[in-house]
Chains A and B, each alone.
Chain A
Amino acid sequence: MSNLTNKKIPSGLDPWNTLRAHTDARIGLGRVGDGLPTERLLEFQMAHARARDSVHMAFEPNSVRNQLDGLDHAILDVHSAAPDRPTYLQRPDLGRLLDEDSVAALGKHAGDYDVAFILADGLSARATHDHAANTLKLILDHLGESWSVAPVTLATQSRVGLGDEIGAALGAKLTVMLIGERPGLSSADSLGCYLTWGPRRGRSNADRNCVSNIRPAGLNPEKAAKKIAYLMVESRKMGLSGVALKDNSSNPELIEG
């Protein structure tokens, strides 16, 4: 619940603000003439400013790397073919391709892995900075020893499709990408997770499973990690991902394995 909901209308402008308990929607805002009271206006502007800052914040792979200190896997930086943020925002096709240096760097680590984890900026570097490393560690805690894990990649100017290129270059059967989601007005730090079995160029969203809204005020990282680990296990068992892979992780009996 956003702080918006908890704030009292300052001057009793709208006696129905109790209805705000039922929804996070911006109801019962009061009015001044036809317009918004000043505090409501500024609240909106602050929410929008935070969301925009999340979109434009530079991704700092080293900040994520530091949080992964002690991890048992190599960590690689990769970059999409979109050189900067303005290009990234207008050319989603470039955000799905690797730049040349990254292709070369991944080639040196090519192998035969069960899974490749990718931590990517997407549309909210803030989400990745704040929640990606923690979520990854929680997923690894659930997985156990039977998984061969590729080097973890930290991807800059990345769209979801970039994971297909990375997974294919590394030789991974499955990719698990944690990526900043398009910020909503009240959810600037929301992380998404995409699982793709058999990653290769040309995969579509129908081939993936998505766990969305990962953030402390949404689906918290602990619950998300459990769900993701479940989907990984099922994906490996069935040899697929996407619409045919259903999320039954709310049934605790199914989590082990």
Chain B
Amino acid sequence: MQTGAPFSFERFTFPDLKTLLAKASPLRSGDLLAGLAASSDEERVAARFALADVPLKRFLSEALVPYEDDDVTRMIIDDHDADAFAPVSSMTVGDFRNWLLGDDATPEALKHLAPGLTPEMVAAVSKLMRNQDLIAVAKKCHVVTAFRNTIGLPGHLSVRLQPNHPTDDPAGVAASILDGLMHGSGDAVIGINPATDSPEAMIELLKLIDEVRERIDIPTQSCVLAHVTTAIDVMARNAPVDLVFQSIAGTQKANESFGITQAMLAEAEDAAKGLKRGTVGNNVMYFETGQGAALSADAHEGIDQQTVEARAYAVARKYSPLLVNTVVGFIGPEYLFDGKQITRAGLEDHFCGKLLGVPMGCDVCYTNHAEADQDDMDNLLTLLGVAGCNFVIGVPGADDIMLNYQSTSFHDAMYLRSVLGLQPAPEFAAWLRKMEILDQHGRTRPQLDGQAAQNLLAWSGAA
């Protein structure tokens, strides 16, 4: 692949696409840490002017990491759908932004366009967008997936129930699952980060969730977030695996640092699909990503944090996932310093994922050394709800006692559904009504002394 002419605006020049993208990116600490950020506000906006004039086609001829060196680049180029790209193929990045915001970019048009877009195109246009643009366009992108329920339908919001425990204690995990279900959470997945990544620990936790799911007939899916190789191992031992989890990133080198290859992901997807445990669909993969992951593995290849993150969604897209979760504030202030940067990143990631056709959710979160608090989380959560985010995270009281960070809570999800009039996944909502957890107005108002609730309590006590 050749490198084209340098880019310029007024007195500023940018030698290549990678530099231009980095300099055009909204300020964040990770790009400063990597030495990639614009050196002044003026240079940043100049880069945006220059970027606005770049033809989208240029992204197909100038790879950010050489094709020969990186299997993510190869995936992006080899899987590009030229027919789908046709409607926007003569546009510049600036034209593309205008088009996305216009009335021609209907949900149907955006759905057909997705396979024709590369992550670099999507990252580029996001850098020309204000937060409201990111929200307005993402809202038009409907990415619907299914396993035992249907996730991502407009007007719906699902929640991953995250019942982590520092020692994987079954009674402790069960108590948190019970609490989450009684607050209407769990339709995206009941997903546990295990304290120990071993086949035995994974099987024990899978059985725990599977038992309650079957006992009270919950239309949802489970996941133990162990390494993909552990999941392949336990599937061979007939463990009840619904979804296979893996953390992924936007370069081959970063994925190698996670100990994964594309072949492993393909093998895991095949194996999980083969189990045929889904009832209304068969999307079997659950991926997590997050800005800064590639840089922290020293594998960002000189690409800015937001663009390399978008490349991870191209990896995700290949394996038809049920859920993709950007864990936006987990990584710490050296990558996203404060509430403002976390908010921007969450909206960018959701936008980029949705435009690429990925079923995007977000772990709205922060650590105690970031300049952020629950007010910042409330803001981003609300904005993502408006943008049509597929799912968010529910942790008891927003305090993950195993991973030591703050996410969003079961209560936060109730708030969001309530203020925006969003419903749980339809199959799950029907179950919640049957369990007397949702009332006739669709509010989460569990009847704690009802028979259904007592059945749940009995299960939890026995765990």
Contacts and interface: CB of A to CB of B under 8 A. Distances in A.
A182 B165 contact: no
B175 A25 contact: yes
A23 B374 contact: no
Interface string A77-101: 0000000000001111100000000
Given A34-B418, A52-B368, A91 B334 contact: yes
B337 interface: yes
Interface in B137-194: 163-166, 169, 171-176, 178-179, 182-183
Interface string A19-33: 110111111110101
Interface in B53-78: none
B367 A182 contact: yes
Contact of A183 (B182, B368, B396, B460): B368
B415 interface: yes
Given A16-B457, A48-B406, A183-B368, A26 B399 contact: yes
A185 interface: yes
B397 A23 contact: no
B435 to A, nearest CB: 15
A185 B396 CA distance: 13
Contact of A34 (B395, B396, B414): B414
Nearest to B415: A34
A170 to B, nearest CB: 28
Interface residues of B, number: 47
Interface in B398-425: 398-399, 401, 404-406, 409, 411, 414-415, 417-418
A28 B179 contact: yes
Contacts, number: 122
Contacts of A44: 374, 397-399
B412 to A, nearest CB: 9
A115 interface: no
B444 interface: yes
Contacts of B165: 23, 25
Interface in A1-45: 14-16, 19-20, 22-29, 31, 33-36, 40, 44-45
B368 A25 contact: no
Q: Which residue, of A35, A182, A184, A186, has the highest number of chain B Cβ atoms within 10 A?
A: A184
A52 B367 CA distance: 9
B419 to A, nearest CB: 8
Contacts of B399: 25-26, 44, 47, 185-186
B367 A31 contact: no
Contacts of B457: 16
B374 to A, nearest CB: 7
Given A19-B460, A182-B368, A25 B411 contact: no
B175 A185 contact: no
B264 interface: no
Given A22-B171, A35-B415, A93-B33, A27 B179 contact: yes
A187 interface: yes
Nearest to A34: B414
Interface in B442-463: 443-444, 448-449, 457, 460
A26 B460 contact: no
Contacts of A51: 368
A34 B444 contact: yes
Contacts of B169: 22-23
Contacts of B414: 31, 34
A127 to B, nearest CB: 12
B175 A34 contact: no
A25 B448 CA distance: 20
A29 B411 contact: yes
B333 interface: yes
B89 interface: no
A55 interface: yes
B174 A25 contact: no
B205 to A, nearest CB: 14
B411 A35 contact: yes
A123 interface: yes
Q: Which residue, of A20, A25, A183, has the highest number of chain B Cβ atoms within 10 A?
A: A25
Contact of B163 (A24, A25, A123): A25
Q: Which residue, of B171, B172, B417, has the highest number of chain A Cβ atoms within 10 A?
A: B172
Given A20-B175, A31-B411, A34-B415, A184 B401 contact: yes
Contacts of B401: 23-25, 184-186
A22 B333 contact: no
B392 to A, nearest CB: 14
Contact of B175 (A22, A90, A187): A22
B184 to A, nearest CB: 10
A133 B276 CA distance: 57
A90 B32 CA distance: 9
A123 B369 CA distance: 8
A52 B397 CA distance: 18
A40 B409 CA distance: 13
Interface in B361-414: 367-369, 373-374, 395-399, 401, 404-406, 409, 411, 414
Contacts of A93: 33
B29 interface: yes
Interface in B17-32: 29, 32
Given A35-B415, A44-B374, A185-B368, A26 B396 contact: yes
A27 B175 contact: yes
A184 B404 contact: yes
Contact of B396 (A27, A45, A48, A123): A27
A184 B163 CA distance: 17
Contact of A89 (B183, B369, B443): B369
A55 B175 contact: no
A19 B175 contact: yes
A256 B404 CA distance: 35
A19 B178 CA distance: 9
A123 B173 CA distance: 29
Given A123-B369, A185-B404, 5 more contacts: A23-B173, A25-B163, A90-B33, A90-B333, A182-B369
10 contacts: A16-B179, A22-B172, A23-B176, A29-B411, A47-B399, A48-B368, A51-B368, A182-B369, A184-B401, A187-B404
Interface of A: 14-16, 19-20, 22-29, 31, 33-36, 40, 44-45, 47-48, 51-52, 54-55, 89-93, 123, 182-187
Interface of B: 29, 32-33, 163-166, 169, 171-176, 178-179, 182-183, 333-334, 337, 367-369, 373-374, 395-399, 401, 404-406, 409, 411, 414-415, 417-418, 443-444, 448-449, 457, 460
